[in-house]
Amino acid sequence: MSHLILATNDLAEDVLRQSGVANLALGFYLRFVWRKLPSEERLLKGLERRSEKHCNPGDHWLDDVCRGSLNGFGTRDIGFLELCAKFDSIEIWVDPRPNDQLVLVWLLDLLRPYKEITTKLSLVHTDDIVANYAPESVAKWKLPPSR
């Protein structure tokens, strides 16, 4: 059974990836707090399969992902929805910070029309910032996912 973790920030991604609790852990580098919000068009374009539209660093959602981290599940050109479809279960790990909460709202709104993805989706709301813990410690956490 393949398991994907989507973290609402890049620092949690790193800890979750190192913890080995999923086949793949990816984070979002989006900043919705204290900045001008990106347009919906720009956000959606960033999640598409990489193309000539993604010519600047940061244009594609996987630009900052470590090379080789997608081995077995795709390339750094894969689109977000295409990648999610490859997994049997998906967890969204949400830190308590305001930006993480906004990323969660954005993700849930984005995924709402995709029943084939939402049916395998669980939320894990952490009471603390995941990046404040060692990967070995996080691997032992038994946080209850909610559906």
pLDDT in tens, 11-67: 999 999 999 999 999 998 888 888 788 888 888 888 888 888 888 888 888 887 776
pLDDT at 147: 66
pTM exceeds 0.85, yes or no = yes
Average predicted confidence (pLDDT) for the chain: 90
In the chain, DSSP assigns E strands to 3-7, 24-27, 89-94, 121-125
Question: Domain extents for the chain?
Answer: 3-139
For 3-139, CATH gives 3.40.1360
Cβ atoms of residues 15 and 138 within 8 Å? yes
Helix (H) / strand (E) containing 139: helix 135-139
The whole-angstrom separation of Cα 69 and Cα 66 is 6
Q: How far apart are CA 34 and CA 45, in angstroms?
A: 22
